[in-house]
C-alpha cells in the first residue's frame, strides 16, 4: 500500500465532495444553513444531520404555517 496516485485522489475527492454538495443543497432548500451539509464529511455527525433533517421541523415549514395563520 503506497500513496494514492492521481486517479485515486480524484476518486477520493469526488466521493467526499458529492455527498457534501448534495447535503448543502438539501439543507439550503429546507431553510437550514447550507454549511450544515459539510457535516456529511464527519463520520458520526453525518448520521446526526440525517436524523435532524428527517425529524426536525424545517424552517420553511414553520414559515409556511405562520403565513397560513395570517391569511
Domain boundaries, the chain: 6-70
Asked whether residue 57 carries a pLDDT value surpassing 80, the answer given is: yes
Per residue, the 3-state secondary structure of 2-43, as one string, reads: CCCCHHHHHHHHHHHHHHHHHHHHHHHHHCCCHHHHHHHHCH
Residue 50 C-alpha from the chain's centroid: 8
Q: Which of 64, 67, 60, 66 is nearest to 30 (CA)?
A: 60
Give percent of the chain above pLDDT 70: 100
pTM equals 0.74
Span 17-34, average pLDDT: 92
Q: What is the pLDDT of residues 27-48, one digit of tens each?
A: 998 888 999 999 999 999 999 9
Amino acid at each position: 500500500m503506497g500513496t494514492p496516485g492521481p486517479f485515486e485522489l480524484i476518486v477520493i475527492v469526488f466521493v467526499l465532495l458529492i455527498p457534501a454538495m448534495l447535503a448543502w443543497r438539501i439543507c439550503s432548500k429546507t431553510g437550514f444553513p447550507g454549511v450544515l451539509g459539510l457535516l456529511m464529511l464527519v463520520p458520526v455527525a453525518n448520521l446526526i444531520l440525517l436524523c435532524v433533517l428527517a425529524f426536525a421541523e424545517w424552517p420553511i415549514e414553520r414559515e409556511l404555517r405562520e403565513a397560513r395563520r395570517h391569511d
